[in-house]
Amino acid sequence: MLAKRIIPCLDVRAGRVVKGVNFEGVKDVTDPVSLARRYNEEGADELVFYDITASHEERNLFTDVLEKVAGEIFIPLTVGGGIRTVDDFARVLGCGADKVSVNSGAIADFSLIGRAANKYGSQCVVLSMDVKRVDGKFALFAKGGREYTGIDAMEWARRGVGDGAGEIVLNSIDTDGVKGGFDIEMLQELCSLVDVPVIASGGAGKAEDFVTLFKSVPGADAGLAASIFHFEEVNIKNLKQMLKANGIPVRI
């Protein structure tokens, strides 16, 4: 039986992990390598590095960080942020990433999914989607959730999987930052449509939210969060104990 995965996300800018509050007032939190180390020791099943680079120099700092983490932490690493071309895949895979997530890059050029999957295999291509309810429908947003695309999110997911995306990260803009729990309804809908692993993102505020996630959405494979792990509101080790006590398979 596969374990349900707990995935901390690290937003990296200029070689540091940053965390904004309500998309504003981005503040420096810590060194990504030491944070990755802590997560690994707590029992994180995978790490996601999100590159929120603003310049070429910062991009090099990002790949330095990635190489350093990949050199001492031997769990799957996913990289996202600014991935627009197959060359971007090559760049991060060469620095130790195992999976690469595409979001706005796939919206700008849908063929990126298929081309990357052909070259590196579907297991390597993660489709990350920012989704929000608009007029009662799930709509896809681009540019970190700022830009309405007019695309139906569920249809987008189905097309992405059809073209070779091997995993989906569903980030609900409606629940993101609210800390009231994952977007169960949105996740249930997605899980009924696709047969690749689904990672739930957006809304986790406490350990119990992960229990609710895996109980209410059996098709969800993983839960992802950033700030609650960063600020030690939830300790991954304790979270996994709680999941285990609730009959949910976890790697302990």
Partner 1 sequence: MIGIVDYGVGNLFSLKSSLKYLGLEHIVSADMRELARCDRLILPGVGAFGDARAILAGSGMDGFLTEQAHSGKPLLGICLGMQLLLQGSEEFGSHDGLGLIEGRACPLKGDIDPLLKVPHMGWNSLHFTKKSELFKYSREGEWVYFVHSFYGKDCGGDVLATADYSVPVTAAVGRGKVFGTQFHPEKSGTAGLKILRAFAEV
Residue 115 is a binding residue for partner 1 (CB under 8 A): no
Please confirm, yes or no, whether 174 is among the known catalytic residues. no
Query: In angstroms, what is the minimal distance from the CB of 251 to partner 1?
Result: 4
Instruction: Give the C-alpha separation, 34 to 37, whole Å.
Output: 5
β-pairing, 147-152 with 5-13? unpaired
Query: In angstroms, what is the minimal distance from the CB of 40 to partner 1?
Result: 7
27 in Cβ contact with 227 (< 8 Å)? no
Task: Please identify which of the residues 51, 130, 163, 209 carries the catalytic annotation.
Answer: 130
Residue 87 is a binding residue for partner 1 (CB under 8 A): no
Please confirm, yes or no, whether 176 is among the known catalytic residues. no
Q: Of 110, 106, 225, nearest to 177 (Cα)?
A: 225
Instruction: Give the number of C-alpha atoms closer than 13 A to the C-alpha of residue 198, restricted to the C-beta side.
Output: 27
Site for partner 1, residues 57 to 76, rule: CB under 8 A: 70-72, 74-76
Q: Which residues pair with 224 in a beta bridge?
A: 7, 201
Site for partner 1, residues 27 to 56, rule: CB under 8 A: 40, 45
Instruction: Give the C-alpha separation, 63 to 65, whole Å.
Output: 5
SS3 at position 69: helix
Q: Of 43, 27, 32, 39, nearest to 10 (Cα)?
A: 32
Query: In angstroms, what is the minimal distance from the CB of 2 to partner 1?
Result: 4
Nearest residue (CB) to partner 1, 1 versus 245: 1
With CB under 8 A as the contact rule, the residue among 196, 226, 228, 234 that binds partner 1 is 196
Residue 248 is a binding residue for partner 1 (CB under 8 A): no
Interface residue list for partner 1 (CB under 8 A)? 1-3, 5, 40, 45, 70-72, 74-76, 93-96, 98, 121-123, 166-167, 195-197, 221-222, 251
